[in-house]
Amino acid sequence: MVSSQIIILAIAATSVATFISRFMGALTSEKVSVKSKVFQWFNCVAYSTLAALLGRMIIFPAGVLADSTLSLRVFVLVICILVFIVSKKNLVIPTILSAVLLSFFNSI
């Protein structure tokens, strides 16, 4: 197989897998109450997975983020969490601020 055919096949396979899981979620979502223990458990698992991934990105970065020091990444994280709290849980401002701060401090 040519490499372009393998790439197209991989994209198709992952698209089908994603569609199937989303379709099954849509079918079963009517039966799950938002206040149920099962829904709360899935919510906790999702947030803990996200927290673990973010922690991994901060402690063991890859790519361009690895050019900055750990202390700088933690400093930017703390500043952005404070901005998130002060801005009444606005996600856009801390996200943009983190990129700007990291770029600025890495260029010094």
Render pLDDT for 31-86 as a digit per residue (tens, 0 to 9).
778 888 988 998 999 999 999 999 999 999 998 889 999 999 999 999 999 999 99
Q: What is the reported pTM?
A: 0.65
SS3 content of the chain, % helix, strand, coil (to 5): 85, 0, 15
Closest CA to 60 of 73, 47, 50, 45: 73
Task: Say if 23 falls within a structural domain.
Answer: yes
Give the residue numbers spanning the domain of 17: 1-31
Task: Say if 5 falls within a structural domain.
Answer: yes
Closest CA to 58 of 47, 69, 44: 69
Count of structural domains, the chain: 1
Q: Which two tokens stand for residue 99?
A: 């990129």
Indicate whether 104 pLDDT > 90.
Answer: yes
Task: Say if 70 falls within a structural domain.
Answer: no
Task: Say if 26 falls within a structural domain.
Answer: yes
HSE toward the beta carbon, residue 33, CA cutoff 13 A: 3
